[in-house]
Amino acid sequence: MGPPGAGKGTQAEFIAAHLAVPKISTGDIFRANLAQGTPLGLEAKRYMESGQLVPDEVTINMVRERLAEPDAAHGFLLDGFPRTLPQATALDKMLADMGVALDVVLELVVDNDEVIRRLSGRRTCRNCGKIWHEAFDPPSRPGICDRCGGELYQRDDDKPETVAERLRVYARDTAPLIDFYGAQGKLVGIDATGPVEDVTERAKDALRPYGG
C-alpha cells in the first residue's frame, strides 16, 4: 500500500523477486484478460468502453482466477489491490474460501509534498516512452531523450494539480485500508523516502519476521 508515487510498483518487483513469488497487479491481470479475450476480459471491456469503472465483482473474479494458477501456490505479492474497503472485504472472503490469508500488508510511507515532487518532475519521451526525472534522473539535454533524441513532455497525470487530485482520491478511497489492516494486526509501515535500494532493504527487514 501507499499513495501514488510512493514506489509501489518498483518495490513490488524487487520484493517479489527476493521472495521468489509472483507479483500480481490488477493492471497486469486486466491487460492479460483483455488480450486473451477471456469472458471476464470481455465483460470488463464493456464497462471500460462505456467509460464506467469495472465493478469490484469482475476485478475480484479476475484476481481469484489468477491466484488459482500454479505459480501462486506457494505465495504471491499483490500490487495495487485492494484499493477500497469493499475490495478488501471481498478479498478477505475470497482468500478464506481458498483456505489462505494475507501474512502482511506493507505500507510505503511518504508525505504528500514528496509525492508531488516525485511525480511532477517526471518527463516522458514522446518517441520511445522512456521516463526521465528533472531532479533524480535528468537527461543530459533538457527536454531531449538521451536514448532516442525524442521530445520529452509532462503527462497530464504528472501535473501538480492532477497529482493533488490523485492524492485526494487516495485519502478518500484507499487510506481507510490502513486502519482496516491495522486492526487485523497485519500492517507494517516503512519509510519510502530516499534511494530505491535503501527502501528495498527496509522492506526486506520489515518482512523478515513473516518469512521474508
Q: How many CA atoms lie within 13 A of 91 on its CB side?
A: 21
8 in catalytic set? yes
- Considering 83, 130, 186, 204, which one is annotated as catalytic? 83
Amino acid at 184: Q
Query: What SS3 string covers 104-139?
Result: CEEEEECCHHHHHHHHHCEEEECCCCCEEECCCECC
23 in catalytic set? no
End-to-end CA distance of the chain: 17
- Considering 23, 66, 118, 122, which one is annotated as catalytic? 122
What is the spatial distance between Cα 64 and Cα 19, in angstroms, rounded to a whole number?
21
123 in catalytic set? no
- Considering 31, 141, 147, 155, which one is annotated as catalytic? 155
46 in catalytic set? no
Rg (alpha carbons) of the chain, rounded to whole number: 18
166 in catalytic set? yes
Catalytic residue positions?
8, 83, 122, 155, 166
